[in-house]
Amino acid sequence: MKVIVCGAGQVGFSIARYLAQEDNDVTVVDSSTQLTRKIADTLDIKTVNGFASHPDILEQAGAADADMLIAVTQSDEVNMIACQVGHSLFNITTKIARVRQQGYLEAKWANLFSRDHMPIDVIISPEREVASAIARRLRMPGAFDLISLVGDLVKLAGVRLNSDCPVLNTPLRQLTQLFPDLNVRIVGIVRDATPVAPLGDEQLMPGDEVYFVCDHEHLDRAMAAFGHEEREARRIVVFGGGNIGQFLTQQIEAENPSVNIKIIEKDKTRAEIAARNLKRSVVLLGDVLDSDILEEANVASAEAVVSVTNDDETNILAALLAKRKGSARAITLVNSEAYAPLTPDLGIDVVVSPRHITVSTILQHVRRGRIHSVHALRDGFGELIEAEALETSPLVGQPLGESDLPDGVLVGAVVHEGEVIIPRASTVIHTGDRVVLLAPADAVRQVEKMFAVQLEFF
């Protein structure tokens, strides 16, 4: 597949890397010579310098025979015009644009992006995606990651194991004996920032970050088995009243009317806008690093604080101050990858990366075959994929233990006629089943082929 990625920032770099690893023909366009040189040196792919909205620049990038254009520059307008030019002049089939300015996304202007006006196939709003991701983590406080799959029948959760976890030092193969009626399977372990294969003899250690897949009805019991029985937060303080803070609060207000929320925002205009847009939440004008304003917000009794200002350092420091004052849990937005490995040791419970969330959202629309959702869990770890098994799939009709799965691919769950099955070697996949699996980066292309529609892919 030939893909043009417009924008060589963090998101563009990540998408280009994912696609290049799978032998796609990728070209990156950016007006910054420094960024394009970095990508060319690191990924060994074609780059073009210039504005992605200019027809001659897209022509140099190979738009005439491109299958997809992904526009993730820092400018919404450049992203939108690049998609328009790609459609009108080069007839590019699939066009994806990141749009941050919420004024473009209001429901009353929805017709703007129709095929007859500005034909963009997929609009990505990072602020809305991040707010939804944080809301999911608030619903399950013990998890640092929580993903719904197969119409909410299957859950993937990421949990950090504490020293009091009841299954520490237990071989993974014994977990089934300890919890025979618990529909759960571990699909990934991260230890000291290094992926560990979840083989039968592997034992769980304090500090491990464990990803598991389970039946949605068993999620609470599975969390308890891994030492997490925290209750859903009812008193929340949000640091930052921008788009993310407002979207998050509006979502919580709609879903949980009993939750008490306070927002701290230092910009007066933004605080006034937030106060107008929210129904029950209290908006406080002040600096999130000011001890007096934190006391006024009563962070000491907050069951969760959420740091979503536009500054990483402020987010981290405010979260640490709140924890020191007594807040039970801290969720922090961090854009820089340099800070992410430090946060667990500092006492921050959950780190949310807009880059990871945006990349995962885009990858869902890049994957081919009968793949319904894709989630990039973390850099270099692989992708969680939900796919539909077709009659022509090599997985159908034989026990999984005899299937020719690519190395490193783990099947976490199979949904057959509405029933969630945690697979074993004897499990047989049938036509129409939904399969949830974790695939390392170098195996994703093979997984795509296994679920492809056309017979010639096999």
User: Residue 215: enclosing H or E segment and its boundaries?
Assistant: strand 209-215
What SS3 state is found at 437? strand
Question: How do residues 96-153 score in pLDDT, each as one tens digit?
Answer: 999 988 888 887 887 888 777 888 999 999 899 999 999 988 988 888 889 999 989 9
Question: How do residues 324-359 score in pLDDT, each as one tens digit?
Answer: 999 999 999 998 878 877 777 788 888 998 888 888
Please tell me the distance from the alpha carbon of residue 308 to that of residue 7, in angstroms, as a whole number: 24
Looking at the domain assignment, is residue 36 inside a domain?
A: yes
Q: Which of 68-72, 317-321, 349-353, 449-453 has the lowest mean pLDDT?
A: 449-453
In this prediction, residues 402-429 reach a mean pLDDT of: 91
In this prediction, residues 23-40 reach a mean pLDDT of: 92
Looking at the domain assignment, is residue 181 inside a domain?
A: no
**Could you tell me if 281 and 380 lie in one domain?**
no
Domain stop point among 124, 154, 189:
124
The pLDDT of residue 379 is 66
**Could you tell me if 393 and 352 lie in one domain?**
no
In this prediction, residues 186-202 reach a mean pLDDT of: 88
**Could you tell me if 407 and 304 lie in one domain?**
no
- Indicate the residue type of 320: L
Is 104:130 a contact under the CB 8 Å cutoff? Answer: no
Is 307:343 a contact under the CB 8 Å cutoff? Answer: no
* Residues 6+ positions from 447 with CB-CB distance below 8 Å: 385, 387, 406, 409, 437, 439
**Could you tell me if 387 and 342 lie in one domain?**
no
The pLDDT of residue 154 is 95
Higher pLDDT, 23 or 237: 237
**Could you tell me if 315 and 374 lie in one domain?**
no
**Could you tell me if 332 and 366 lie in one domain?**
no
Q: Number of folded domains in the chain?
A: 3
In this prediction, residues 299-303 reach a mean pLDDT of: 94
The pLDDT of residue 453 is 60
Burial class (CB in 10 A: 0-12, 13-18, 19+), 378: middle
Looking at the domain assignment, is residue 154 inside a domain?
A: no
Q: Is 458's pLDDT higher than 70? A: no
Question: How do residues 89-103 score in pLDDT, each as one tens digit?
Answer: 999 999 999 998 888
Q: What are the φ/ψ torsions at residue 5 (nearest 5 degrees)?
A: -105, 115
CATH, residue 446: 3.30.70.1450
* Residues 6+ positions from 1 with CB-CB distance below 8 Å: 19, 24, 25, 67, 68, 368
Length of the chain: 458
Q: What is the mean pLDDT of the chain?
A: 89
Question: How do residues 257-294 score in pLDDT, each as one tens digit?
Answer: 889 999 999 999 999 999 999 999 999 999 999 999 99
Domain stop point among 330, 356, 382:
356
**Can you give the pTM of this predicted structure?**
0.82
Token pair 């306070």: residue: 262
Higher pLDDT, 68 or 392: 68
Domain that holds residue 59: 2-124
pLDDT class of 80 with cuts at 50, 70, 90:
very high
Please tell me the distance from the alpha carbon of residue 22 to that of residue 377, in angstroms, as a whole number: 17
